[in-house]
Structure 1
Amino acid sequence: MSTLVEDNPAKHRFEILIDDALAGFTAYLARGEVLVFTHTEVDRSFQGKGVGSALMRETLDQIRARGTKVVPQCPFMAAFIDKHPEYADLVADLP
């Protein structure tokens, strides 16, 4: 099984593809150097398989590599960051 998380700027979201199928996404609004995450969705057929966590981890790793910050308005992302304090340094206040 191949997994890929990539930014889709045209749709303002990071997408997770599993075997080339869209398994889920986390949507954002760009506010300068900050991405405000508003909603995360995992396809029903992929729920309960760690897809949401993989999407969060890879999305946040890519944001860290860019040197940008996040505002986790999405409850799923906020809960993920609470459970994984190694990502807390990426959280910014709204500009």
Structure 2
Amino acid sequence: MTDIADQITEEVTETKGSYSYRADGAVAEMTYSRAGANLIIIDHTEVPDAFRGQGVGVALVTRAVSDARLRGHKILPLCPFAAAQFRRHPEWSDVLNG
């Protein structure tokens, strides 16, 4: 998963953002909305079949958690996949909003 994590990029606008992983012509993406200065809402995660079972989706959420810690942000995971990952990773509770 380290190789995947190293290749994840982030794009940010004033109100939205995304984390993406690209390889072999396929793109996995997790999108979020900014709600105030210190809260991001993960609203969608999409991983193409080409990446299934490789930990790409988890790597996207893990990157968001890491960045939230560095930036002092909280995360509200409305996306079902991201919410499930937060349930599986209680060590992420420090950045969980709510």
Shorter-chain TM-score category?
Answer: 0.7 to 0.9
Contact preservation (8 Å) 1:12, 1:29: yes
Provide the C-alpha distance between the structure 2 equivalents of 1:8 and 1:16, rounded to a whole number of angstroms: 12
Among residues 31, 40, 44, which one is paired with 2:35 in the alignment?
31
Note the residue ranges of structure 1 that are not aligned, 5 or more in a row: none
Among residues 7, 10, 13, which one is paired with 2:10 in the alignment?
7
Tell me the number of residue pairs that the alignment of Structure 1 and Structure 2 aligns: 92
CA deviation string 1:17-55 (max 9, x = no partner): 347x55311111111110011110012211111111111
Query: TM-score w.r.t. structure 2 length?
Result: 0.80
Other-structure match for 2:97: 92
Provide the C-alpha distance between the structure 1 equivalents of 2:61 and 2:82, rounded to a whole number of angstroms: 7
Query: TM-score w.r.t. structure 1 length?
Result: 0.82
Give the number of the structure whose residues are more often strand, by fraction. Answer: 1
Q: Give the 5 Å matches for 1:72-83.
A: 72-83=77-88
Note the residue ranges of structure 2 that are not aligned, 5 or more in a row: none
**Aligned Cα RMSD in Å?**
2.1
Identical columns (%): 32
